Amino acid sequence: ETGVTQTPRHLVMGMTNKKSLKCEQHLGHNAMYWYKQSAKKPLELMFVYSLEERVENNSVPSRFSPECPNSSHLFLHLHTLQPEDSALYLCASSQSSREGNYGYTFGSGTRLTVV
């Protein structure tokens, strides 16, 4: 496989469930990202793993928990979500250096519905 692969493509979960979103990149990139896109809203950066450091958006609730076991895999663990968390969750990767990021490749996203 090539590019950035996200699974599952669609997920419906109850507010008391625990689930995980998975992202895998086969591009040799060294940075990975989670973005959230709610209906008719801009992309919202949630978490960044770059150069083995994690940077997060402080406005992201603790019910979202990222995990990056290596440079090719990224997870987003979900627990006790709210209906307003329903959105398209996008994973991206890039090649990052001290000078900056070189291009993003996005996955197709996971469409999450919280019921």
Partner 1 sequence: DAKTTQPNSMESNEEEPVHLPCNHSTISGTDYIHWYRQLPSQGPEYVIHGLTSNVNNRMASLAIAEDRKSSTLILHRATLRDAAVYYCLCQGNLIFGKGTKLSVKP
Task: Name the minimum Å distance from CB 45 to partner 1.
Answer: 5
Residues 54-83 that bind partner 1 (CB under 8 A): none
Length of the chain: 115
Which residue from 48, 74, 76, 81 is in contact with partner 1, where contact means CB under 8 A? 48
Q: Candidates 17, 19, 20, 45: give the one binding partner 1 (CB under 8 A).
A: 45
**Least Cβ distance, residue 79 to partner 1 (angstroms):** 24
Considering only residues 108, 112, 113, 115, which one is a binding residue for partner 1 as defined by CB under 8 A? 108
90 binds partner 1 (CB under 8 A): yes
- Dihedral angle computed from the Cα positions of residues 21, 82, 18 and 32, in that order, rounded to the nearest 10 degrees: 20
Check residue 104 for interaction with partner 1 (CB under 8 A).
Answer: yes
**Pick from 105, 114, 89: which is nearest to 37 by CA?**
89
Count of Cβ atoms closer than 10 Å to residue 19 Cβ: 17
> Token pair for residue 51?
């150069």
Task: Answer yes or no whether residue 107 interacts with partner 1 by CB under 8 A.
Answer: yes
Do 26 and 1 touch, CB atoms closer than 8 A? yes
- The reply to whether 101 sits near partner 1 by the rule CB under 8 A is yes
* Contact between 91 and 108 (Cβ < 8 Å): no
